[in-house]
Amino acid sequence: MTKRGESTREKIARAALSVLIERGFKESTISEIARKTRVNEITVFRHFGSKDRLFTEVIGKTIRSRFESLKLDFEPTEDITRDLTEIGLSLAKYLIASANLTRLIMLELDIIPRDLRNYTSNAMYIILTSLENYFVKAMGKGLISKIDPHLAAVAFYSFFYRIMLSYAFRQRDLLFRVDRVSVRRFVILFAYGIQKDEGT
Amino acid sequence: MTTIYRIERTKEKIMAAAFDEFSEHGFAGTTTKEIARKASVNVVTIFRHFNTKEGLFSAVIEKKTKDLMKAVQLNLEPSEDVVADLTKIGISLHKNMTSNAKMVKLITIEVSKHHPMIWKPIANSYLDSVDALAGYFYNAMKKGLIREINADIAAVMFFSFFYRNMMSYAFRKGDPLYQMDRGSIGKYVSLFVNGFIGDERRYDEKRGKH
């Protein structure tokens, strides 16, 4: 009984997400979601209460599960560029996967439920804090020179944020191809700067 | 002559008021009545010049994208002082982008869903900025002012920092992550130029230690 209820709930959630991404928040209707799930509208309401609550739960869950696959709590090693390449790849993967939802939230910022809006900005703050922690720890270990960890985190994040928005609105990015080799190139530039190395 | 001048002035006044209203309330939420009130003209005047609300909207977007194209012309010849150059470039990039933030939001919300082509002028103006930056890094390398780097990635990286800030302004009316001013842009440039992995001894020599 519970299991059956759960699977209906999951089916509704999956349908809700696909309707939402296709139509946007305003144009999405419970009746279309019900039709897609082959259940009665009443069933949808019984499970989720309202359109707002349905979407808040569905999107929240999606963002949370994607977020869990994001590896950010890196302990700095001697090989800073390798660490940051891994972090960058993981971040890029997460942000590109979230591009659709981000577009949705940006396009309907004024009408979507507040909780929904908060999900993405909370994710951003967690990412920023984790990046900052990495730089603080690396400084503590004497692996990098003294920098403003917040500034470094914002700069690192900004690079991948632009890529994400490019995917959100144009489904691709003309300026940077995300793969291990390119991300590593970016990281080396980020870590070493552009100044001439007088020593060599 | 004076009549044509007056007509152009009126059209400009209407378009300026329309831009403010569309940015604030979106296409659907904006009324021609309110635009007329803000521009101190009669509603009939708006329809005489632009036929419909849609016509006015297109005219506004077209004009604003033209302005944008004009604005993003960076003249970037490297001097001996790369930090000073990049700080100057950063400041103008920042000014440029934040002054267009309102329009970027308007276009993102109202038009990108239905007319993806409208993105083209904006996307192109950004590509031009990134190209200009890459040219700067390339020339600085040629002059031996910076080390051998990938100029394209450096350009995208520098640009992205200001782009995220602009988008935050466009959609949140502020940036909770980084306050941009001459000093903080200088700090970013210093991180960008020096990085954080370097020969410690070299840093000490620069500071006159040892």
Interval B12-61: pLDDT, tens? 999 999 999 988 888 888 999 999 999 999 999 999 999 999 889 888 88
Chain B residue closest in CA terms to A117: B172
Q: Which residue has the higher pLDDT, A121 or B32?
A: B32
Q: Is residue A56 part of a domain?
A: no
- Of A175, A189, A199, Cβ closest to residue B202: A199
Judge: B195–A169 Cβ closer than 8 Å, yes or no: no
Q: How many domains does chain A have?
A: 2
Judge: B164–A158 Cβ closer than 8 Å, yes or no: yes
Q: Is residue A95 part of a domain?
A: yes
- Contact list, A182 vs chain B (CB under 8 Å): 153
Instruction: Sketch out chain B's domains with CATH numbers.
Output: 2-61 (1.10.10.60), 72-193 (no CATH)
Mean pLDDT, chain B, rounded, equals: 84
For residue A177, the enclosing domain spans: 64-192
Mean pLDDT of A135-146: 94
Instruction: Report which of A48, A41, A42, A40 is spatially closest to residue A10, judged by C-alpha positions.
Output: A48
Instruction: Report which of B89, B191, B93, B179 is spatially closest to residue B139, judged by C-alpha positions.
Output: B89
**CATH at residue A89:** 1.10.357.10
Q: How does pLDDT run across A142-194, given as a tens digit for each residue?
A: 999 999 999 999 999 999 999 999 998 888 898 999 999 999 999 999 999 99
Q: Is A145 exposed, middle or buried (0-12, 13-18, 19+ CB in 10 A)?
A: middle
A177 shares a domain with A87:
yes
Judge: B193–A194 Cβ closer than 8 Å, yes or no: yes
CA distance A155 to chain B (A): 6
User: What CA–CA distance (Å, rounded) separates A93 from A90?
Assistant: 5
Ranking A20-29, A103-112, B80-89 by mean pLDDT, the lowest is A103-112
CA distances from B56 to B27, B28, B115, B119, B130 (A): 11, 13, 16, 18, 32
CA distance B87 to chain A (A): 14
Judge: A158–B82 Cβ closer than 8 Å, yes or no: no
Asked if residue B110 has pLDDT above 80, the reply is no
Mean pLDDT of B78-98: 90
B135 band by pLDDT with thresholds 50, 70 and 90: very high
| CA B125 to chain centroid | 9
B205 band by pLDDT with thresholds 50, 70 and 90: very low
Q: Is residue A166 part of a domain?
A: yes
- Give the helix ranges, DSSP H, for chain A: 2-27, 30-37, 41-48, 51-68, 80-97, 99-107, 114-140, 149-170, 180-192
Judge: B156–A159 Cβ closer than 8 Å, yes or no: yes
Ranking A105-114, B85-94, B193-202 by mean pLDDT, the lowest is B193-202
